[in-house]
Structure 1
Amino acid sequence: MFKNNQEQKSTDTDQPVLPWEQRPAIFEILKANLDENDQPIVQELPLPDEDRIHIADGNQLQWAAGARDGVLTFHANPAEITQKAVQIAELVKAIADNNGLDDRIALYGILMKDDVLHYLDTTIEHILNLSVKVRPYLHAFARWLAFHAPDRGAVKFGMALLGLIRDKEDMENICILGAHDEFTLFAVVAIVQMSDNPEGTLWRLGKKVHGWGRIHIVRRLLDTKDEDIKSWLMVEGFRNTVMNEYLAYPCAVAGNLRTALLAKDIDEEMLDAAGEIIQALINPGPMEGIDEYDDGPVVIQRYISHLLHKANTLHQYILLQQLSTFLQDPKANWDARIDYGWSEDLRSDLLFDIHQILASPHWKHILSMVMSDLNTQQVWEVAKVSDALDINIEAWCWERLQQNPTDETSWYLMMKRMTLERLPELLSFAKLHIPLQEIAIGAAKELGFNKAFTMHRCLDCLLLKLGEFPGYGYEFVEAATRSPVIRNRNNAVKVLESWGKSHWQEGTWQLLQTASQVEPNEDVNGKMLDLLEL
């Protein structure tokens, strides 16, 4: 009844288009993104309301999937929340009673703002107090929001209502939505309310998400008694694309990392996972770290003990360096840490073992093996380990760049190691591959983070050290002052400042003056004017 009413299109040309019309349903897009095993084909698939929210926010920096809800949890005005919650609850009751179009339009307009989590708990409380009827309209309305709406805020609120209604027939579709990080939190709440075995359902869903959704699910699995889930938490579940620091400590505790490492021998999967957890624990982050982890000294001691005979990856080399720095940190309160097992003798023994492992000659061979693949994903590891071993990888970086001139990482590594002797060759190569005319189209407020600005970011890498070589690469500086990307123009000013006016080419002052007259960014404009006055 509701669905037919809701989806009826406006046929009268004098009638305005309803806010949910003429755009695809989010649910259908996410369902089409699942493979035959119900795994997402594209992780964090862009949603159809992306541009609308992007424009509404007035900000070029877009939220990662699910991140906005996490931030909103900590920044709320209670008075505003209560007022909006009462308004929404009353609209929900009106829809449940009469299914009026005006009420649906009013509620949808509120939900389009995508701040549902801000007021959801309070809204649900008011809905319950109003004794809202599920039938004949509310269930159909909730299903329509969740499975037919084109806006994420409406979908989330529909999922919340379905969780409140608790019809198990909706759970399969809820899980389809939950396989996208943007909706996982709302799926979790609904699943807990609907499922006879929420733990198993959440675990299956947790394997499909990798960002904020993974974080939300894992934190709800920490009290599990299931040994398979415990093992997964420790070996895989802690990994996420936000920060491993969010989950490293709770997964180490829930999975009992200490017991796992006390084994005489462990496999490579466990060793790699332990290393990543330890790395997150010793890195100050947003959650509990090594100082809150009672098993920290034993876990690190056992990890290093296993590496005495198993160390064979660049990541392990880097982590051992980080552990060495951690154990010698002069700013740390080691007197206080003694109570947790960090004795001076233990630290000395660990540092001795670390030095012994890092001094092994086999690291050069391991580095060489990784570098034999120009397409390796371990580029930053190669850079760090080669620096530590004092191995020159300039030729390798140059070969990578020639193979892929759009690889900004290769541009960065080349410029970081640039010498005056090598610079002319690189600039000649850059003239062939960095499209300066396409870049110098006029100043704008672009941040330049998406794929359309790949070569603008390559130009940034080129400008990185150009200030150390006065007079070289002027055409790249000139193009950068006219780039739509703010960072390009800012780096061009830095280069000119580093060169000093004595090394400016004829026309540079006029170039900078013209650029300052049209510069839309206040900070960059100020730097341009300051440079002109020097």
Structure 2
Amino acid sequence: MSAPEWTIGEPADGRSTFLRHVTSLFAEHGEPPWPNDGRPFPDDPPDWANATMRSVVLDGIRTHHFGVGPKAEQADALAGILARTVEEPPDIAAAQLFHDALAETDALTVVDHLLEPIAARKVSRRRARVLARWTAEHGTHRDAVKIALALLGLCGDERERELFVLLGSLDEFALYAAVALRRVVPDPEPDLFRLARRATGWGRIHAVKRLEGTTDPAIRAWLLREGFRNGVMDEYLAHFAAVNGGLLEALTKGGPEGKVDDALLDGAGGILGAMALSEGGPAKGLVDYPDAFAALERYTELIDGAPATLGRLADLMTIRTYLLGEPGDLGHSADEVTRLGRRLTRTLERPEWEAEVRAHLAEPDGKDVGSALWVADKLGLRPFDDVLRRLRVAPRDSSAWHWAFRWVTRERVNDLLELAQTLLPLEELATGPSEVSSVGPGYEDDRALESVLRGMARTPGSGWPLIRTGLRNRCIGARAAAISALEAWCGRSLPAEAVTVLRRAEAEEPHAQTKESMSAVLGRLDLGSGTD
């Protein structure tokens, strides 16, 4: 007679699990990307949007830059809890205690150290799989789900394929799902490709990097056209895409008819531009790409007669700036590199590039107007009236405020400040200090105010109502910007209430560094300079 199956029943509390959350997102919105990257999560606090650093970002930074401090003892302790749980008859309460132990653990510090202690205890692989799967399906805390996915990568099998892809559709779990897929699925590449296409931020970076060495023509083509783009920094995947997608080969041979399609040309510009920006930065750049000069040369030939678009213009300018600056060793003489940069300069002199920028600026509520403003600045256009039109239809556009203050002339500073005081809800923004940042949804007006105040540091002498509002804003960044703007006024005529307002702000300030800055400005102010 065979032994009874070791199974764990369904919880009876109707908990809000991550699996149910992901399933609901698919039902409501279809394929990712999802609004707010699928947030709020089941374990998110009410103020989740204002977190200074999200856990998925922290995981990404640690895996790419700082390494992870391993906690072997904690991994051993978790393996002990796992062993004790599966040695007993299946029990929902015991499974919940296991989940809670995982939830109290920093997943990234233990997932690579679980195999040895689990093997040493001779834990039943079949029962461990059941418990890990139960935890992944019924997990309500992200770290518990992450570790459960890692455990399934150790003791699961191909039956977990769809669960990995489903939970990995959240950027939060993509790293753990991708690693597990590579461990237990005989041919994980199609599923990793699915994960990579669904993810947009760190999840895409993690999933794409598990596609290293691919020979699939569809994946290679996607890497060059779209796969390197992500919501963190394209630099993280640009070099990877160039190497694993075969950038030079694609640009040289083109498609089936020997032509380079628009998507490939745009992707090539994005990849080469990102590698140029990455030089000496967080990821490999052009000097790390053996085919860099040949790819740049071929791109220069192709872009010379290509139709003008805003995206191409941005990439062109980035690459040109790199080549004419102080580029690293590209395996060719400095004269050859400079020649290439000058050829791109001549390409940029085509009148249709400026016409393309002007066309986008003429639509102040268009989706590409932000990019058009950036490119306009690089072209030296300084379209101040265009940015004012943008602000009148989108006063929360903090980058537009930045450009407005960058381009404003002395004669029009007061007009710009009056516009800011008219468009921004100053009374609603002066609610008193707190220790929140302006990150995430719900803080658009705060970010706009901060941008205005940072611009005002370059135009001292006017706009006191904006500074007064900034000193009473809930966000640390806006208050710091208000202090900088006020400091620029030192030695000039200040409103009579300035010192009183600043003293009150200092007394109420909860953030230590901001409080120190307020104290320093108070110490430098000439108390006799205030006038009505």
Question: TM bucket by the smaller chain?
Answer: 0.7 to 0.9
Give CA deviations for 1:222-256 in whole Å, capped at 9, x if unaligned.
21222222222222222221222222112211221
Structure 1 residue aligned with 2:271: 277
Relative to structure 1, is the Cα distance of residues 120 and 494 closer, same or farther in structure 2, using a 3 angstrom cutoff?
A: same
Instruction: With the length of structure 1 as denominator, give the TM-score of the two structures.
Output: 0.87
Find the partner of 1:315 among 307, 311, 316: 311
- Following TM superposition, by how much is the alpha carbon of 1:69 offset from its aligned partner in structure 2, in angstroms? 5.6
| Contact 2:310-2:357 within 8 A present in 1 as well | yes
- Following TM superposition, by how much is the alpha carbon of 1:167 offset from its aligned partner in structure 2, in angstroms? 4.0
Structure 1 Cα separation of the partners of residues 366 and 55 of structure 2: 26
- Following TM superposition, by how much is the alpha carbon of 1:514 offset from its aligned partner in structure 2, in angstroms? 1.8
Relative to structure 1, is the Cα distance of residues 429 and 329 closer, same or farther in structure 2, using a 3 angstrom cutoff?
A: closer
- Following TM superposition, by how much is the alpha carbon of 1:190 offset from its aligned partner in structure 2, in angstroms? 2.6
Structure 1 residue aligned with 2:17: 25
Relative to structure 1, is the Cα distance of residues 466 and 52 closer, same or farther in structure 2, using a 3 angstrom cutoff?
A: closer
Structure 2 Cα separation of the partners of residues 356 and 233 of structure 1: 30
Instruction: With the length of structure 2 as denominator, give the TM-score of the two structures.
Output: 0.88
One-letter code aligned to 1:300: L
Find the partner of 2:34 among 33, 37, 42: 42
1:160 aligns with 2:165: no
Higher deviation after alignment, 250-259 or 411-420 = 411-420
Relative to structure 1, is the Cα distance of residues 111 and 347 closer, same or farther in structure 2, using a 3 angstrom cutoff?
A: same
Find the partner of 2:501 among 493, 507, 511: 511
Relative to structure 1, is the Cα distance of residues 430 and 265 closer, same or farther in structure 2, using a 3 angstrom cutoff?
A: same
Structure 2 Cα separation of the partners of residues 229 and 42 of structure 1: 23
Structure 2 Cα separation of the partners of residues 89 and 23 of structure 1: 26
- Following TM superposition, by how much is the alpha carbon of 1:95 offset from its aligned partner in structure 2, in angstroms? 0.8
| Contact 1:145-1:157 within 8 A present in 2 as well | no
| Contact 1:30-1:176 within 8 A present in 2 as well | yes
One-letter code aligned to 1:144: W
| Contact 1:69-1:115 within 8 A present in 2 as well | no
Structure 2 Cα separation of the partners of residues 166 and 468 of structure 1: 60
Structure 2 Cα separation of the partners of residues 348 and 432 of structure 1: 48
| Contact 2:153-2:181 within 8 A present in 1 as well | yes
One-letter code aligned to 2:409: T
Structure 2 Cα separation of the partners of residues 149 and 230 of structure 1: 35
One-letter code aligned to 1:29: H
Structure 1 Cα separation of the partners of residues 192 and 506 of structure 2: 55
Structure 1 Cα separation of the partners of residues 105 and 403 of structure 2: 40
Across the aligned residues of Structure 1 and Structure 2, the Cα RMSD in angstroms comes to: 2.7
Relative to structure 1, is the Cα distance of residues 37 and 23 closer, same or farther in structure 2, using a 3 angstrom cutoff?
A: closer
| Contact 1:181-1:214 within 8 A present in 2 as well | yes
**Count of equivalent residues:** 509
Partner SS, residue 207 of structure 1:
helix
Relative to structure 1, is the Cα distance of residues 395 and 112 closer, same or farther in structure 2, using a 3 angstrom cutoff?
A: same
Structure 2 Cα separation of the partners of residues 210 and 321 of structure 1: 25
1:123 aligns with 2:114: yes
Structure 1 residue aligned with 2:527: none
1:405 aligns with 2:395: yes
Relative to structure 1, is the Cα distance of residues 286 and 25 closer, same or farther in structure 2, using a 3 angstrom cutoff?
A: same
Structure 1: tracts of 5 or more residues without a match: 10-21
Give CA deviations for 1:150-205 in whole Å, capped at 9, x if unaligned.
11111122222223333433322221101111111221233233434311222122
Relative to structure 1, is the Cα distance of residues 37 and 516 closer, same or farther in structure 2, using a 3 angstrom cutoff?
A: closer
Structure 2 Cα separation of the partners of residues 29 and 413 of structure 1: 40
| Contact 1:180-1:213 within 8 A present in 2 as well | yes
Percent of aligned pairs sharing the same letter: 28
- Following TM superposition, by how much is the alpha carbon of 1:208 offset from its aligned partner in structure 2, in angstroms? 0.9
Structure 2 residue aligned with 1:12: none
Partner SS, residue 266 of structure 1:
coil
Structure 1 Cα separation of the partners of residues 114 and 47 of structure 2: 23
- Following TM superposition, by how much is the alpha carbon of 1:113 offset from its aligned partner in structure 2, in angstroms? 3.4
Structure 1 residue aligned with 2:224: 234
